[in-house]
Amino acid sequence: MIQKEVKIINRAGLHTRPAAIIVKLASKFNSEFYIYQNDLSINGKSIIGVMTLCAEQGSKLTLSFEGEDEEEACNEISAYFERGFDEL
Amino acid sequence: MNFLEKSKEIRKEFIEVGYFFESCNKLFNIELVAENKGFKKKITQNAIHRPGLALAGYLDLFTYNRVQIFGNTEASYLKKLSSTKRIKSYEKFFSFDIPCVIFTNGNEPDSDFKKLAKKHNVSVFKSKYSTTKVVYYLGDFLDDQFANQMTIHGSLVDVYGVGILFVGRSGIGKSEIALDLVERGHRLVADDIILATRKGEGILMGSGTSLIRHFMEIRGLGLLNVEKIFGVRSIRFQKRIEVIVVLEEWNPKTEYTRTGLDSIHTNILGVDIKTVRLPIFPGKNITVISEVIALNYLLQHYGYDAAKDMQERVEKGISKKRKSRDNRVITYFEHDFE
């Protein structure tokens, strides 16, 4: 299992469009993907789950991957967070 | 069960007095007596305390960190004291880090008490309700606030009054089953994120989150609002979780129960919930099976267990040592050729 902490850096936060892209990216991989925020744990392959986070600019999330392709999944998805959802 | 692996058990560590006041005011009308001070203080326990003995001077085991209730006993005791003794008693009381004080039964603090409360930044509330009633409401509210909680990935549907929680890997069709059940007149509690809260002994309540409410996602369609499509009869906000249905891909190597005599349970937050492992494959109508799971659960609840009944029949049959092999169920309608 890999865990990685990421920060939301774009101004609009984790809104619908990036949420949909995260789910799309995640569903390419077989690994299980969960996102933790304070006391919430949500399945990263579910659009409703990701949108529930309502993560604003500056908030921190923990990504957790588990499965045979966990490393690729972690790299690709955390890179998307680090690029500010391509909105910078 | 592995579907719980990613769920974290959580419990609030504290609530602030300000939040406590706001919520309790809605529940049973408490009024703020002193100035709005001490709203940032933390309540960390779900228990409450009657400080009668502490006021009388016995301060061993004084659970000062709980919400303090001043009922008739405390008020009449304080009234009987001389004013110097009373102030001394107050001073001792406030030397502890009290979260907040509630006067019940229409009792009110005197000016010395208010002064000291202000000095120590302790909020003082009053209620016109009896101590018993306030204790009842408060206990319920604080128990709920400090209950153990867990977020579970799944769908919760009320099927014939039985709360069925569907779990399984992402994309296996939990939402589709929930939608199918709603279409057949059952009620959706929440899809995707279920907040499970333990209530008392052996009761697990499930609800959705305030943001999602009754939205769900169906692959290929996108987001839907079940309440808008099917109306208010198709939803509810909370439901006791009574049965867990684990949806799995059909695996010929896995053994599934054939009789139903060997029931399995999943422990969530210390509550054992009856669990059904359901293999899925094309052509299998999970919706109808879910309805049957609910109805069978109800039958068992009312004292009838089909598996046990059948077991008894077989045992009876064996003990009779029947010589004749007349196995037909109907003998009366011999001449009915329909």
DSSP A56: P
- Average pLDDT value for chain A: 92
Q: How far is CA B279 from the centre of its chain?
A: 29
The reply to whether B158 belongs to the active site is no
Share of chain A above pLDDT 90, in %: 78
Q: Strand B149-159 and strand B162-167: pairing?
A: antiparallel
pLDDT (0 to 100) of residue B57: 86
Contact A39 B217 (CB under 8 A): no
* Preferred mutation among A52, A56, A61, A70 to probe B, highest tally of B CBs within 10 A: A52
Beta strand segments in B200-314, E:
203-207, 215-218, 222-225, 238-240, 243-249, 264-268, 271-280
Residue pairs between chains A and B whose CB atoms are closer than 8 Å: 52
Using pLDDT thresholds of 50, 70 and 90, give the confidence band for residue A39: confident
Token duo for residue B73: 């006993």
CB atoms within 10 A of CB A77: 24
Which among A27, A40, A48 is the nearest to B151, CB-wise? A40
Question: Tokens at residue B36, please?
Answer: 């709005």
| Residue numbers in B near A34 (CB within 8 A) | 6
- How far does A40 lie from chain B, in Å, by closest CA? 7
pLDDT (tens, 9 = 90+) of chain B, 338 residues, equals 567 766 778 888 889 998 999 888 888 888 888 766 788 889 998 889 999 898 888 888 889 999 999 999 998 998 888 888 999 999 999 999 999 999 999 898 888 888 888 888 899 999 999 999 999 999 889 988 898 899 999 999 999 999 999 999 888 889 999 999 999 999 999 999 999 999 878 899 999 998 888 999 998 898 999 999 999 999 999 999 999 999 998 888 888 888 887 889 999 999 999 999 999 888 889 999 999 999 999 999 999 999 889 989 888 888 876 656 666 776 666 677 76
Residue A54: partners with Cβ closer than 8 Å, 6 or more residues away: A13, A14, B211
pLDDT at B261: 79
- Ordered by where they begin, the domains of chain B are 15-145 (3.40.1390.20), 149-301 (3.40.50.300)
- What strand order describes the sheet that includes A40-43? A2-7, A60-66, A32-37, A40-43
Q: What share of chain B is helix, strand, coil (3-state, %, to 5)?
A: 35, 25, 40
Find out whether B36 and B64 touch, Cβ atoms under 8 Å.
no
- The catalytic residue among A4, A12, A13, A15 is A15
| B223 interaction partners in chain A (CB closer than 8 Å) | 47-48
> Look-up: residue for tokens 């959580």?
B10
| pLDDT at residue B247, as a whole number | 93
pLDDT at A38 over 60: yes
The confidence score (pLDDT) of residue B301 equals: 92
Question: What local confidence, expressed as pLDDT, does residue B337 receive?
Answer: 73
Closest CB to A52 among B10, B149, B193: B193
